Amino acid sequence: MIMMQGKGVSKGVIKGPLYFFCRQDAAVKQWHVEDLQAEKERLVQAQEKTIAQLETLAEKCREEAGDEAAVLFETHAMFVEDEDYVESIYSCMEEEQCNAEYAVQEAGEQFAAMFAAMDDAYMQARAADIRDVSKRILNNLMGIVEGGIDSDVPVILAADDLAPSETIQLDKSKILGFVTQGGSSNSHTAILARTMGIPAICGLGEELKEEYAGRIACVDGEVGCVYIDPDELTLAQFNEKYAKQQEMKELLLTMRGQEDITLDGKKVNVYCNIGSPEDVSAVLANDGQGIGLFRSEFLYLAASDYPTEEEQFQAYKTVAAAMNGKRVIIRTLDIGADKQVGYFNMNKEENPALGVRAIRICLNRPEVFKPQLRALYRASAYGKVAIMFPMITSVWEVKECKRACQKVMAELEKEGIPFNKDTEIGIMLETPASIFVAEELAREVDFFSVGTNDLTQYTLACDRQANDLGKFYDPHHPAVLRALKMAADAAHNAGIWIGICGELGADLSMLPTFLAMGMDELSVSPNAVLPLRAAIRSSIAKTCTLDALEC
């Protein structure tokens, strides 16, 4: 047996085979081909495999979401064999005497550009469909496994660490847990694990070796231990802990349908953080009362080009409609720092956490900001959508955002497109600057949401992604907690509500402090909803104190 110690970043225990994430070079290169007929046959095989994959996806989608949802994949399957598209690929191969990969990429971009240039918004949105189909064919030509996991059984995914663009594209149905050499409790791998409700351990270092691939591992996310080929005693202890974990899950299910209210009547809204429309199923399964943070940047991270207004609208509309009238807070684009998107062509920065990120990008690039705002307001006609701006540090930024919103609403009204004129607008408090001017900011918006991950980083001058900072990165630091209290007071003095959407919101040890502050909402990973509800329902708000704010 081999035992490795890391840092548990998502609780739970699980057993399964280790699978190492393999990055493959997806760059398409051109080369000369002598046997064009053989190359065309290779293309046909890739097309057939693509159609089979799409038909499988359509059937799965039909079972889970109905016929209408399956139509997209059926349409994609038809386009694979579209005469004009295939003829364009063949022409490129013959004229250039080149490989199928290059021809597929060229034809895909040619057709996508043609649709994107059309005046009709629906036809413009088809550009993304064409790129998706071409990408699927390319993956099959290049032997790239969609979802990054080539396994018939669920696995414990191992990696050095995973970038946001990699986590968003993983086939989550095949993942039992995560173990990584690097990373931190605030890494995107950790956040994804908590959203999925599966164990995760980071900081295992070079002890986590690729030679362990395929061997059985037991992962204990609570204590941060990984056991490779566990002995009988360890396995018995592990199985006992797993059984207790399942019992606790069954017990927590009794919290479904219950109110999020303390014994003395203090109501707290328990919402969920999500990263994609697919996460809504976890929100509903865990009885989340709303969505406190929809990270819209994952639409950008998962794409190879700027998502169109129509693509964004469909994603936001899907989530809003699925939540059936419950509040859905959608954060506008928040990239930069640790979330880089290649096609944005951002300048390299010495300290990206302090650079051009989040709302700074949006205000600098109205051509990116405007389509997102239009999509958000259009989606507001299908549910209780609220818009939240990240990384706000000053009043003028909020006023600029509101001006952009007013322009978009005026355009939509002129075009006769329905939207909710009373859509709530809120901001994230993530910096000391926003805390110090919270009184003024509160007069401009409908709500505050505190991002405790970044607030801790900027308050304590600790990189949230650096695993070796350990105890120095402390969300419980009195300075951080006093900042939360200042924000809560400013919100309530202005008559607006305030919530927490950072990881600290799920920390049950902090619940009494949050109740004492008067926090109105806590937005957490879906799997944290029921434990938090149980804790709220056994608390007495009026007896809670602010002792944690003392040094």
Q: Which residues are catalytic?
A: 188, 501
Angle between helices 83-96 and 100-116 (to 10 degrees): 130
Q: How many helices (H) and strands (E) does the chain have?
A: 20, 16
| 3-state secondary structure (DSSP) of residue 241 | helix
Q: Both tokens of residue 5?
A: 């110690």
Q: Using H for helix, E for strand and C for coil, what is the string for 59-86?
A: HHHHHHHCHHHHHHHHHHHHHHCCHHHH
Tell me which residue of 396, 456, 457, 458 sits closest to 427, measured CA to CA: 396
Please state, in angstroms and rounded to a whole number, the distance separating the CA atoms of residues 59 and 73.
9
- What is the residue-wise DSSP string for 194-220? HHHT--EEE--GGGS-GGGTTSEEEEE
Place of tokens 């173990």: 179
- Torsion angle, alpha carbons of 213, 219, 224, 226, to 10: -40
Other beta carbons less than 10 A from residue 465's beta carbon: 20
Please state, in angstroms and rounded to a whole number, the distance separating the CA atoms of residues 299 and 287.
24
N- to C-terminal Cα distance for the chain? 44
